[in-house]
């Protein structure tokens, strides 16, 4: 039976007891934890775990991934304690979820290959972690995962083993340690030598060859602005009848092109963010409405920084028409039904997501929602815009490749760079003799923390980029490698 993972909104770190001990104890001294899962036959199975309320280690935690074996529940305790330790040290929720996925994959690898992860043999080559490391190296060779991902997965498993040793003592893994340590040394830029212990099972990820910096704009990733022809093709696709049927996706893409906002911010916008009415004179429809996002507001932002989003008022009016449509109201009704709210208050209506799926669920979970206790929640992962990425892969890219070539590709985040370059070109026309004003406007509207990032937009040359792209492709075709 495979290892399964369940995300809970709340979990208590308490001493595990048997059902017999639970029945013999006072109701105030014990607690029963019940959850359901689907068996391989598709039937819903209920499982119970019993805890003591008198344990000195009692601690309440929020949204902790629990790994369990559907048959024995044997692994649940050790892996969950490790994830709880990470949460206690205030590791970000996404990191804890990623660690849980790494442990889930490791446990399933052990079960598939009949390896006992708690009783490693003496021979290093036969240790479960070593075999798992070799398995990941094969995936790297096949191109299924990157070296960086493999390195993280092995490090997560080794960190878990160290947590087990710290919690249960050196004898937890039997007679032999789970990994092999060796002493390594390194020299700092100040010419100081340091020594450290490392694990031989860890994957040494090779340094990736960096592409020419002129090909991309470094702004939260390597972004490649769409050229005028690419932008025209995308706009044509967004305006065709097929895309108009999925009005949510169409509006998500257009919001990115009109504001330069990141996907996380767009998908967490609320109806309150566009609840504005301006009486503008004729010809002033495109004055900007400022939407605030970040830790202090409803919509999220990268690293929860408080930022401003500049949205043309004409587009605000378009979104206002949408949220008053029967289509959106039907999705909004399902949204509140999923939350168990029959008569939502005005405040709850204002905080509702603008973009919802046909099931009434958001495309991207707000950080505030992830921290809100909901005992009925059983999602294994937080929503992070996967539906948008799938729409690009299944609907947008195939149409663009018909016109732009089979090898053409782009990412949603490239739309942010496209907005930035279009903004730069407009500002250069408005302020031909004031480059500082161009810098100031771009940095403000795109919420750049550093001027260096803004400079990448100002100095980006699409013609030079295309030239370097041809050179890069030529180097690849002749097998050129940069080993420096």
Nearest CA-CA partner of 263 in 367, 379, 370, 386: 386
Residue 89 to residue 77: CA distance in whole angstroms: 18
CB-count burial class (<10 Å; 0-12, 13-18, 19+) for 105: middle
Q: What is the predicted pLDDT for the residue at 483? A: 45
Q: DSSP secondary-structure letter at 188?
A: -
**List of the chain residues with pLDDT < 50:** 465, 467-468, 481-484
Domain ranges of the chain: 3-183, 226-388
Residue 250 to residue 255: CA distance in whole angstroms: 9
Residue 195 to residue 198: CA distance in whole angstroms: 10
Q: What is the predicted pLDDT for the residue at 423? A: 94
Q: Is 68 helix (H, G, I), strand (E, B) or coil?
A: strand
pLDDT in tens, 38-89: 565 667 667 677 777 776 555 555 666 777 776 665 566 677 767 766 766 6
Cβ atoms 80, 52 nearer than 8 A: no
Q: What is the predicted pLDDT for the residue at 484? A: 40
Q: What is the predicted pLDDT for the residue at 374? A: 66
């Amino acid at each position: 039976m495979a290892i399964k993972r369940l995300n809970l909104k709340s979990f208590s770190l308490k001493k595990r007891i048997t059902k017999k001990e639970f029945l013999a104890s006072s109701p105030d001294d014990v607690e029963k934890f019940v959850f359901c899962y689907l068996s391989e036959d598709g039937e819903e199975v209920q499982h119970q775990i019993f805890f003591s309320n008198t344990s000195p280690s009692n601690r309440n935690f929020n949204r902790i991934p629990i790994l369990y074996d559907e048959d024995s529940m044997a692994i649940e305790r050790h892996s969950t304690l490790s994830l709880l330790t990470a949460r206690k040290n205030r590791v970000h929720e996404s990191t804890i979820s990623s660690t849980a996925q790494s442990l889930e994959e490791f446990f399933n690898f052990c079960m598939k290959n009949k390896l006992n992860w708690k009783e490693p043999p003496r021979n290093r080559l036969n240790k479960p972690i070593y075999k798992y490391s070799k398995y990941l190296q094969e995936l790297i060779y096949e191109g299924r995962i990157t070296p960086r991902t493999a390195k993280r997965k092995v490090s997560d498993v080794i960190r878990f083993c160290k947590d087990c040793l710290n919690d249960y003592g050196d004898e937890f893994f039997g007679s032999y340690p789970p990994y092999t340590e060796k002493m390594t040394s390194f020299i700092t830029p100040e010419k100081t030598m340091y020594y450290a212990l490392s694990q031989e099972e860890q994957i040494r990820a090779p340094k990736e060859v960096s592409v020419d910096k002129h090909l991309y704009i470094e702004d939260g990733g390597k972004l490649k602005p769409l050229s005028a022809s690419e932008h025209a093709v995308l706009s044509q696709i967004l305006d065709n009848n097929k895309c108009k049927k999925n009005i949510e996706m169409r509006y998500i893409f257009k919001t990115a092109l009109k504001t330069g906002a990141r996907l996380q911010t767009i998908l967490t916008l609320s109806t309150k963010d566009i609840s504005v009415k301006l009486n503008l004179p004729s010809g002033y429809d495109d004055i900007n409405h400022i939407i605030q996002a970040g830790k202090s507001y409803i919509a999220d932002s990268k690293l929860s920084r408080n930022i401003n989003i500049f949205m043309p008022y004409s587009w605000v009016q378009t979104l206002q028409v949408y949220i008053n449509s029967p289509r959106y109201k039907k999705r909004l009704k399902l949204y509140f039904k999923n939350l168990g709210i029959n008569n939502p208050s005005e405040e709850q209506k204002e905080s509702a997501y603008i973009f919802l799926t046909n099931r009434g669920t958001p495309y991207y979970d707000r950080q505030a929602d992830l921290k809100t206790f909901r005992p009925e929640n059983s999602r294994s992962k937080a929503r992070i815009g996967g539906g948008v990425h799938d729409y690009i892969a299944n609907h947008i890219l195939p149409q663009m490749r018909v016109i732009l070539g089979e090898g053409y590709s782009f990412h949603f985040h490239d739309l942010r760079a496209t907005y930035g370059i279009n903004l730069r070109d407009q500002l250069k026309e408005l302020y031909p003799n004031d480059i500082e004003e161009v810098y100031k406007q771009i940095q403000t509207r795109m919420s750049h923390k550093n001027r260096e990032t803004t400079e990448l937009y100002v100095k980006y040359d699409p013609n030079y980029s295309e030239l370097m792209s041809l050179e890069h492709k030529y180097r690849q075709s002749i097998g050129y490698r940069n080993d420096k």
